Structures are given as structure tokens and as C-alpha cells.
Structure 1
Amino acid sequence: MSSAATSNETSSADTPAQQRPPIVGPPSPQPPYPILVSGSVVKGFGRGGKQLGIPTANLAEDAVERTLRDLPVGVYLGWAQISGQRAVWPMVMSLGWNPYFQNERRSGEVHVIHTFDEDFYGRTLNVAILAYIRPERNYESLEALVEDIRCDIEVAHRSLAREAYQKVKQCDLFKTDDDATSSGSTTTG
């Protein structure tokens, strides 16, 4: 992992969104990626959609601690799927303390890059983390935070467009019961 992935939080003035690289990660995901995690979606602080206009699916604390406890805080990109759905969507995930909001516990907040008609609290969210985008930062304003998140989303789109990153959407984490049935596989109960 790059040294940036282990650095402490920085100010938004240190690295403006306009000066960030347009694509992150090597041409294909390298260890420790992909990092696969599944967890229930729980109610968060209600800030993503309401305050920021960027809704997030908050992973249950046990999923964050069980699977992501050794991962440095920061913003990551990858793929996400809601249980019971076939679609796999691009995502960005904030893992950390969210210093702008002064969180008291570490959280995993996934912004699935798609517009949904309804919330999916209580459903399982499957996530394949494929690359580190940037460290967690504090911000002088809500507008600066939103600008950086929008930049993260653009970086994710460009980075995930590469063939090796696209292939991860076919991993077993994202298989549905329909996939097993259509491929001739059977399951026993």
C-alpha cells in the first residue's frame, strides 16, 4: 500500500481536489485487494443524503471491525451489490472517523453510485474494495467536503473503467441464486 494510505489526516487545503490524480491504483488490483466485505446496512447519522446530497449505506459496526479493522482510514473505491439484486454498482467508501463531523467511532460509509428509489436498511451490502483513493481529511466547510467527495466519485468512475477492475464484478461475492440456477448448479438445503 502506498505511504499515502498510512498518513494521518490532512487538511483539505493540503491537496485540493483539482490537484488529485484522475485515476488511482495500478492497472489491475494488487494485494491486499480485492478486500471483500458483507454487512448489514444500518441507520447512520442521516448526513449523507440530507446534508451532503450524497447518500451512504452505513455498514454495521461488526462488519467494519471484523473485516476492515486493519485497513488505514481514508476513501476507497470498488463495487457494491445489495442483497437480492443482480446489479453491481460502482462505489466509494469512507472508512474512518469523519473529522468534519467529529465521529466518536470508526465507520464504513459506502456511497453506491446509483440513484435508488428507496432505502435498504437491514439488507446485506456486498462490497469489493479495489483501491485506495486518498486519506481522510478535515474540511473548513461543508462545500469543500462535498467537492472532494464528488472528485472521489469521478476518480472511481475512471479507475473502475479499466478491464481488470471490471472483471471483479464477476467474483463469487456478487453471485446470486439466479446465477447458480442459470449456470446449471444446484444447491442443497
Structure 2
Amino acid sequence: MPAERPQISDTPLSPFPIYVGSTPIIPGFGRGSTALGFPTANISPDSMSDLEVGVYFGYARLHPTRGETIEQYRVDGKSSVLLNHGANLKSKDLEILPMVMSLGYNPYFNNERKSCEVYIIHDFKDTFYGADMEIVICGWLRGELNYEGMEALKKDIQLDVDIGLKYLQKDAYVKCKNLFI
């Protein structure tokens, strides 16, 4: 059964929108793309310490960075990824794009460490670990939940995406794009 969503206003309500400046994308657990089908760009949750854990919606924009391609281990140390710093991103990948973001401990996976996972709603053709990302958080969707199974979690994430996209089409939320520097 999907999580109940609070009533979402047709305009962002305080404290939203919140601009989070450019921060590096770091390897996560790899579950977003492999287990869930929602690949995420993970960033440090430190700059969002005032926010409640939960799921949010808004916009993201990527910025390639300079650097050599290097191998870096994921959070769990079980596998690694190549940090290519977004070298293969195309111009359409660098536009301001809709996103849904999970901030918290992911109770379904029993995480002990807080994480920030941003699902950018776009079909990327390549990875961009090591690139920078800035985000604008436009609103709150729901709190964190535990699920009885992976399929229930996937359905709820898809509902988050659908609701986020619906509200991001409203003029008051589209104006949040103006916060990008």
C-alpha cells in the first residue's frame, strides 16, 4: 500500500524552495540503478542537516568537472565505480531537470548512515560520478517508510515521481528554476 502523501500546495510553501549549491556526486550503494530501476546521484547530506528525513521533489542540474578517470569504492566497499567527472554528458544532460530526492536512512535497507539520493528524471546514456550537481528542493512528498517487499518500494517511488512531475509543471514551481546560478 503506497504511503499517504500530505496535501501539496499549488505554490511552494516555506521553507521551500531551497537552493543547494554545487556539490560532488559520490558513489552510493548501487541499489538505485540495479535493484530499484531508479538510478540516483548521491551527494553528501551534510548541507541539508536542517531538513527532515523523507522524500522531496524539485530540480537538478549537473556540471562536469575536470579530473582524471579514477576508480572509487562504493559506500559498502563491495564494488567500485569509475569517476569520469561527467566527461561524457551531452548538452541535453546539462539542462535543469526534474528530480525526486530521498534524504534519510532508507529503513527498507537498514542503513545506519544518512544518505541523500537524487533521482534525476532523465534518460542518461552514461554515468557521471564525480561531476558536480546543484539542486533546488521545491517541496515535501512524504516521510521515510519501511516496506514489506521490493515491489511495494518500487511502486511508491514511481508514485513519488508521478506526483513530483505533476507539481513541477505548475507555474509557481517552474519559477523555482530561476534559483539556479
Which residue is 2:15 aligned to?
Answer: 32
Change (3 A) 1:34 1:106: same
1:56 aligns with 2:36: no
Q: CA RMSD in A?
A: 1.6
Once the two structures are TM-superposed, the CA of residue 109 in structure 1 deviates from its matched residue by: 0.2
In structure 2, the gaps of 5 or more residues are: 65-90
Measure the CA separation in 2 of the matches of 1:27 and 1:141. 32
Within-5 A mapping of 1:4-83 = 13=1, 16=2, 20=5, 25-37=8-20, 38-59=22-43, 61=44, 64-65=45-46, 67-83=47-63
Once the two structures are TM-superposed, the CA of residue 20 in structure 1 deviates from its matched residue by: 4.4
Matched position secondary structure for 1:72 = coil
Query: Does the Cα contact within 8 Å between 2:56 and 2:101 map onto a contact in 1?
Result: yes
Measure the CA separation in 2 of the matches of 1:82 and 1:56. 13
Percent identical among aligned pairs is: 45
State TM-score, norm by structure 2.
Answer: 0.79
Which residue is 2:83 aligned to?
Answer: none
State TM-score, norm by structure 1.
Answer: 0.76
Matched position secondary structure for 1:90 = strand
Which residue is 2:103 aligned to?
Answer: 95
In structure 1, the gaps of 5 or more residues are: 1-12, 176-189
Number of aligned positions between the proteins: 152
Measure the CA separation in 2 of the matches of 1:91 and 1:71. 17
